[in-house]
Structure 1
């Protein structure tokens, strides 16, 4: 049996050994399969890019002091120094020399972006959105 969404795989003796699914088919049945097999999927957590943060601080040339406060407009979570929180209220997602620093709120998973400009800091909050697995690239 075969269709546009799956292809059954057989060994040399004709025994069914597996099935290949298209990305659309897998995205639509993945929750059902994981539940049936009693598998709880936990997203892999990348380490915080602390070396990038330290590089930004090392080359800091803004006329104001390094800011470590983070506030989530989505859920109200707040901290004066994100690095000293234990456990972390906010995880560093990215930092670069241009002054762009992003955090993820551990409470509601919103994204907080701090854009450091010459004279000011612009903060943006984006609520968490589920990813569409059909549009996620994996290598």
Structure 2
């Protein structure tokens, strides 16, 4: 049996639905296909403001709710992320355990604030595009 790196997918009436490529084929044509299709709009999930409000409601840390966020990658910063217009940082997650995550709108880095009883630890992870060599492969 000969391995075909391209599989065309049809519906029951014979209409072409799509094409499936092997990982090797995709790596060869990825850049040209993405360039031909043009920029893809990034789907923005709504900010989880309900989770943020819940965290504030049950805030039991010995310090006041902190609203400042800073990105050490691009130098962006704000005293109150929720009042910026346009937003410098988008809330991406908040939990009752005190973990609050943001995405920097300037450089797309991830800013995580970990609230502990006695202090806050901030971690910034630079944005990184997907690297084809690190993508999962199934054989």
TM-score, normalising length from structure 1? 0.81
CA deviation after TM superposition for structure 1 residue 40, in Å? 2.2
Report the counterpart of residue 87 of structure 1 in structure 2. 86
Contact kept, 8 Å, 1:8 with 1:16, in 2: the verdict is no
Question: Secondary structure of 2:29's match?
Answer: helix
Distance 2:79 2:102 in 1: 14
3-state DSSP of counterpart to 2:102: strand
Alignment correspondent of 1:30: 30
Stretches of structure 1 lacking an aligned partner (at least 5 in a row) = none
In the TM superposition, what whole-angstrom CA distance separates every residue of 1:52-111 from its partner, at most 9, and x where no partner exists?
Answer: 000000000001000000000000000000000000000001000000001000000011
Count of residue correspondences: 132
Note the aligned Cα RMSD (angstroms): 2.7
**Which deviates further from its counterpart, 117-126 or 39-48?**
39-48
Q: 2:7 is matched with which residue?
A: 7
TM-aligned CA distance change 1:51 to 1:16, over 3 Å:
closer
Secondary structure in structure 2 of the residue aligned to 1:122: strand
The match for 1:121 is 120
SS at match of 2:25: helix
Aligned residue for 1:20, secondary structure, equals strand
